[in-house]
Amino acid sequence: MQRSRFSGYTACAAALALGALFLFYAFLNVSQSDIVSLDSLGSTAFYAITIPIALVALLVCGTGLWVGWTILTIKVAPPMPEIVEKKDFARFKALVLCLLVLAVAAAFVYGLSVRSYWALAIPAAAVTLVVLGMVFWVGVAIITARATLPESKKK
Q: Contact positions toward other proteins, by CB under 8 A?
A: 4, 7-8, 11, 66-67, 70-71, 74, 76-81, 83, 86-87, 89-90, 93-94, 97, 131, 134-135, 137-138, 141-142, 144-148
Please, which residue, 86 or 153, has the CB nearer to other proteins? Answer: 86
Please, which residue, 38 or 60, has the CB nearer to other proteins? Answer: 60
Cβ atoms of 101 and 71 within 8 Å: the answer is no
CB of 97 to other proteins, least distance (A): 8
Radius of gyration for the chain, computed over Cα atoms and rounded to the nearest angstrom: 23
Distance of CA 104 to the CA centre of its chain: 14
CB of 73 to other proteins, least distance (A): 11
Please, which residue, 15 or 121, has the CB nearer to other proteins? Answer: 15
Q: CA distances (Å), 118 to each of 108, 111, 115, 122, 136, in order?
A: 9, 8, 9, 6, 25
CB of 109 to other proteins, least distance (A): 23
Please, which residue, 48 or 55, has the CB nearer to other proteins? Answer: 55
The residues, ordered by sequence, that sit 6+ positions from 128 with a Cβ below 8 Å of its Cβ are 18, 19, 22
CB of 94 to other proteins, least distance (A): 7
The residues, ordered by sequence, that sit 6+ positions from 42 with a Cβ below 8 Å of its Cβ are none
